[in-house]
Chains A and B, each alone.
Chain A
Amino acid sequence: MLTNTKCECGHQNPVGTVLCEACGLPVQQEVAESDGLLEMRYEGAARRSQKSNPKLLDRIWNFFSSVKVAVYLIIITLLLSILGTLLPQVNVVPSYDPASYYAEEYGKLGELYYSLGLADTFGSWWYKGLVLMIAASLIICSLDRIIPLYKALKKQQPVKHETFLKRQKVLYIGEVADAESWLKEAEEAIRERRYQVTREGTSLLGEKNRFSRWGPYINHVGLIILLAALLTRGLPGWYMEQGFSVNEGQTVSIPGTNYYLKNLKFTEVKEVGPHVSGQELQFAFETDAILYRCVADCNNPFAEPQLEEVLQHKIRPNEPLKYDGYSIYQIDYAFSPQATIMTLNVLRDGQPIGELVLNLTDPAPAYQLGDVSVELTGYYPELTSVDGVPATKSRLPNNPAFILDMTLADGTTEQYFVVPFQQYQTRISGAEDSEPLTFEIGGMEASFYSSYLMVKVERALPYVLAGALIFLFGVVIGLYWQHRRIWVRIDGSRLIVAAHTNKNWYGLRDELAKILDKTGIEIDAKSLDNSGVGKS
């Protein structure tokens, strides 16, 4: 359909224009023929999406450029989010087999919940897809509006058509005796309220806080930055999260990094707070840790890694260790006393010949005691017996047992089986005629706590935060300030004053009443309300 978009003032408007870009007279037929208030959104300018003959590309564009679609997307996201909070999500479910967990814990409903994919709502492709569609809508809606709006606001003319003025929401019509002197007074009064005033003949335009119109677009840009920043999590090296545990005294390789961490000591602080109940309060926990950089032989079970100390830090909740883009958080801990190093005194005929220092997590295979060489050929951290054969019940040194091959100075060999906690030892092989060696616990080192830590890389965070703050800035200038305009037109002695704001009409009416008061027109702010126009 072809429409004539040329206004009677002579201005040629683009297709889709509602109000003439120059004088404000309605050019769209339906608007021109009705007599209600004018819709002032986007200044009645043509949006890019309003083309006369849409192709596929335009159709997609039009779909995303609609605020209605945006609101639907928001509401759908909202409803799905609600569904996603009904049952715990898979990431917090304490089971490696979520399918059966949901069926077991929540019955048929749980089964359905899991099979619908709601158990992982926020990690699902459809939720992410929805967020992506919101992002598309943010970008396209903004672009579709901001350019024509910018142009329209830039080329405003003070002289507006009478129809345009009369169909504004705030309106005053009266008489003035002397147009020129009244205009002077009015200009003064409007300027006093920090409006910028342009005058053309007997018409005036006062405008302030135009920047507030950019608020929505700024906040959309903020959100787009935020969402784009979240996308970077998929880039290699931008996002990493790994949990690990480290016992007291232990040094472990931090997963996913080239660093090692030693837990010097774990402390749990409990204070009896200054409280009526005498309750234990303000308790805290921390890992006194040393961070090492591994220079060589990293993660090689046959060589000690070569470590360089980087720094020491007490890791507490709210006080992570931060270094080189990595953050290490204190997540949790467990009280699990455990032997870590055991020293065995080796005696011959009651005389000590040396001590064996055994690392119970990963004991070394060979030792030298004076002229006796010792080879550790068997180690059972938690001794048990399976069909009469020694075996280990677990990897925890709860009841360590050792098989020790001794080569004495004279070249004879003996083999011992030693279970220190049970004070049991037996000579498996060796010269029958000599006294066996004896093994006694000489000392022990223990770890009392396991500290659970998490190492994290989150390089997107500053951008996420920047996006959020830009969003907030946009919202604040868009909501707390209002773009206000006052048009004055005097034809002979007839005065028309109309005003428009994007929000807070109450404030605008009040302001206009005060301005008019200054020029000698006393009027109740309420009566400036022109909302009744066109309604019968």
Chain B
Amino acid sequence: MARNKWVQLTILAVIIAAGAFTIGANLSKTPAPKVGETAPNFSLYGLDGAAYELNDFIGHPVVLNFWGSFCEPCVREMPLLQKKYEKYRDQGLVVLGVNLDESTVTINNFIRGMNITFPILLDKNVVRKQYGVYNYPTTFFIDEKGVIRQEIVGEMNEGSLPSHDIEKAIKRLLSG
């Protein structure tokens, strides 16, 4: 009878393991990261030729902005992002602009015209899909631990629309 018991235990353990595995796999394959979850890591080349990895910035609050020069609201909020970058970079804030699959010539021309100095990353729809971004611009606010604290879809502003207030979002991020 003791042997039977072990057989039973083994089988039940296998089934429970399979269950944990399925449900675990089910929960982990959420298509897009949500607020409160860890921002998925990625590595991309920057316009400056350097390779960037999101996890390199752990310990820093990160503003991750998805943009393209073809997207008017993205273009309109660019100076604002630059302004905040200049204002808070001393406090450790990192701003990353993930470009949406444009040619380097187009991006360079645009960056020059706008005097953008924060890093621009080149993405061929990989990170965009990874982050489930379908509307532009979309901005993720990631805290020092790498957790997404806020996601703003659409053009950001300074105070005129609280849900899209970049200043407030950054303050929240910096205050921890």
Contacts and interface: CB of A to CB of B under 8 A. Distances in A.
B133 to A, nearest CB: 10
B175 interface: no
Contact of B105 (A57, A124, A378): A378
A377 interface: yes
Contact of A365 (B12, B18, B105, B124): B105
Contacts of A128: 22-23, 26
B88 interface: no
A386 interface: yes
B108 interface: yes
B27 A380 contact: no
B137 interface: no
A363 interface: yes
B157 interface: no
Nearest to A382: B70
Contacts of A337: none
A90 to B, nearest CB: 10
A96 B129 CA distance: 12
A140 B49 CA distance: 59
A115 interface: no
Interface residues of B, number: 41
A77 to B, nearest CB: 15
Given A57-B5, A300-B45, A386-B72, A136 B15 contact: yes
Nearest to B14: A139
B53 interface: no
A376 to B, nearest CB: 5
Interface stretch (A38-46, A272-280, A389-397, A441-449): A389-397
Given A300-B45, A392-B69, A395-B102, A379 B75 contact: no
A123 B8 contact: no
A124 B109 CA distance: 47
Which size bracket describes the interface of A in this complex?
A: 35 or more
Contacts of A382: 70
B19 interface: yes
Interface in B44-73: 45, 49, 68-70, 72
B11 interface: yes
A382 B72 CA distance: 13
B4 A48 contact: yes
A60 B45 contact: no
A393 B70 contact: yes
Contacts of A302: 45, 49, 104
A79 B28 CA distance: 27
Interface in A44-85: 48, 57-58, 60-61
B9 to A, nearest CB: 7
A253 to B, nearest CB: 7
B1 to A, nearest CB: 9
B106 A392 contact: yes
Contacts of A393: 70
A379 B15 contact: no
B134 A395 contact: no
B75 A140 contact: no
B70 A376 contact: no
B25 interface: yes
Contacts of B126: 255
A403 B105 CA distance: 10
A234 B19 CA distance: 12
Contacts of B5: 57
A380 B106 contact: yes
Contacts of A403: 109
A125 B12 contact: no
A219 B26 CA distance: 27
Nearest to A124: B26
Nearest to B102: A395
B12 A394 contact: no
* Listed residue (B45, B70, B132) with the most chain A CB atoms within 10 angstroms of its CB: B70
A299 interface: yes
B94 to A, nearest CB: 21
B105 A379 contact: yes
Contact of A378 (B12, B15, B109, B124): B109
A359 to B, nearest CB: 8
B122 interface: yes
Interface in A103-144: 123-125, 128-129, 132, 135-136, 139-140, 143
A377 B105 contact: yes
Contact of B104 (A129, A136, A234, A365): A365
Interface string A329-370: 000000000000000000000000000000001110100000
A260 to B, nearest CB: 12
Interface string B106-127: 1011001100000000101010
Contact of A234 (B15, B22, B69, B100): B22
Contacts of B4: 48
A231 interface: yes
13 contacts: A61-B12, A96-B134, A125-B22, A125-B23, A128-B23, A129-B19, A231-B22, A302-B49, A362-B104, A386-B75, A391-B70, A395-B68, A403-B109
By Cβ-Cβ distance, the 9 closest A-B pairs, closest first, are A234-B25, A378-B109, A379-B105, A96-B134, A362-B103, A301-B122, A136-B15, A379-B106, A392-B70
